[in-house]
Amino acid sequence: MKSNPAPPAGEPQQTAEAARELIELLEVLWERGRDMVSATPVSASQLRVLYSLDREEGISLRTLGDLLGSAPPSVSRMCDRLEALGFVQRLPSSVSRRQLELHLTVHGKTYLRELRVQREEALLAVIADMSPTSRKALLRGLTGFHDALEGSGPAASSHSRTPLKDVSSA
């Protein structure tokens, strides 16, 4: 397996600072998107629950807690709030009578779809102002970041993960 050459001194720190600044700007952009979708207040933690249920439909509270790294009582309270908002429903498990499965409701799925549309439109507006070379570099950098985060590195097979969408045509 090839290893990457050692980066110049200070480069990882500069990259981390640039990434942190970008994340902070994205958080502001994300909040604007959330405000445009619904007047219903959904916290960042509750949004993580919605994203998790969108990816893992029908999981148990325990599994959700494991995914989020949260204690069962706090996960249960978040699901209570999301259920009261009409975003989540608990249904009997098909494999165990003692367990409940968590599912997004139509309202919850609609909320996520509209949120993603708003956020993607905001991103596309910024990306459209970038040069084609910068867009390609961004895609390459984000793909490398994703690979490192997933632990696959540059030598791993590309079909073992979901690739990032090609933004170079945006």
Length of the chain: 170
Q: What is the per-residue pLDDT for 65?
A: 92
**Res. 156: pLDDT tops 60:** no
Q: At what angle do helices 11-37 and 106-128 cross, to 10 degrees?
A: 130
Please report how many Cα atoms fall inside a 13 Å half-sphere around the Cα of residue 72, on the Cβ side.
Answer: 4
Average pLDDT taken over every residue of the chain: 81
pLDDT given for residue 63 in this prediction: 92
Model confidence at 161: pLDDT above 60: no
